[in-house]
């Protein structure tokens, strides 16, 4: 991976350990030229930079979807709240300005398109086949399942599905992404790689 881009990704605000980011980059770099990578759950664009680096070398494009209001666990009073991401005008979370700075500083605005909206809404009007789908949005059971349902049908035959924050042992973390993994394995995907909590699957049916 491009060194400057890797350093910016590692320094960016967000939730993507370097090793898992490297795995994201590898998967993105394997996408066919002209292919589309879709990320659900942008936050401030940390994981987006790993995908963008891979997309650039593959000749692919990244679309990243987020309403930029934060997940449940990002809200004030919750474990993963960052008060520097609050819009002082309204008191609500707003990660969009931070994302724009991340993309601008890394000079990847030519490879990445940010879509601002609810995942399940955008998934409903979406129609382009996706070569790599990365699920990293809301982690409640309802939201994780809704994201899977809204997007999985758009994954191209032979396309990749990456799921973040998969913890088979409840002692390590929430179970919703793990349940999504089990569902995908049951619905035409085969697992190809495990890197920390990141699972990489391929559509075989």
What is the binding site for ligand SAH (CB under 6 A)? 14-16, 41-43, 46-47, 65-71, 95, 118-119, 136-138, 143
Interaction between residue 147 and Mg ion (CB under 5 A)? no
Beta bridge partners of 163: 135, 199
Residue among 56, 68, 98, 164 that touches Mg ion (CB under 5 A): 164
Q: CB of 11: closest distance to ligand SAH in angstroms?
A: 12
The three-point CA angle 152-200-5 to 5° equals 105
Residue in 25, 98, 139, 164 annotated catalytic: 139
| Partner from ligand SAH, Mg ion, none contacting 66, C-beta within 5 to 8 A by type | ligand SAH
Tell me, yes or no, if 154 is annotated catalytic.
no
Give the nearest residue (CB) to ligand SAH: 14
* Closer to ligand SAH by Cβ: residue 42 or 61: 42
What is residue 82's three-state secondary structure? coil
Q: Are 36 and 65 in contact (CB under 8 A)?
A: no
Q: Which two tokens stand for residue 27?
A: 């998967």
Measured over the CA atoms of residue 137, residue 17, residue 74 and residue 70, the dihedral's sign is negative
- Spatial strand order of the sheet with 36-40 comes to 112-116, 61-66, 36-40, 130-135, 155-163, 198-203, 189-195
Closest CA to 180 of 153, 155, 205, 143: 143
Q: Which residues contact 171 (CB under 8 A, 6 or more apart)?
A: none
Q: CB of 165: closest distance to Mg ion in angstroms?
A: 4
| Partner from Mg ion, ligand SAH, none contacting 165, C-beta within 5 to 8 A by type | Mg ion
Residue among 136, 144, 159, 160 that touches Mg ion (CB under 5 A): 136
| Partner from ligand SAH, Mg ion, none contacting 70, C-beta within 5 to 8 A by type | ligand SAH
Which residues are catalytically annotated? 139
Residues that bind Mg ion in the complex, under the rule CB under 5 A = 15, 136, 164-165
């Amino acid at each position: 991976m491009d060194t400057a881009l890797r350093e910016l990704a590692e320094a960016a605000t967000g939730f993507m350990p370097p090793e898992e980011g490297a795995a994201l980059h590898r998967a993105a770099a394997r996408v066919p030229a002209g292919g589309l990578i879709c990320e659900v759950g942008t936050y401030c664009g940390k994981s987006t930079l790993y995908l963008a680096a891979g997309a650039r070398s593959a000749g692919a494009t990244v679309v990243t979807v987020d309403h930029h209001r934060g997940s449940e666990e990002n809200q004030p009073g919750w474990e993963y709240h960052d008060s520097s991401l609050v819009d002082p005008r309204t008191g609500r979370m707003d990660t969009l300005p931070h994302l724009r700075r991340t993309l601008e500083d890394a000079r990847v605005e030519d490879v990445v398109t940010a879509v601002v909206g609810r995942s399940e809404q955008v998934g409903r009007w979406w129609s382009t086949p996706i070569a790599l789908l990365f699920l990293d949005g809301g982690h409640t059971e309802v939201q994780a399942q809704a994201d899977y349902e809204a997007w999985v049908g758009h994954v191209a035959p032979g396309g990749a599905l990456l799921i973040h924050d998969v913890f088979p042992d409840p002692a390590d973390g929430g179970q919703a992404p793990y349940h999504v993994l089990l569902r995908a394995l049951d619905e035409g995907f085969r697992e190809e790689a495990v890197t920390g909590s990141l699972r990489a699957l391929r559509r075989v049916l």
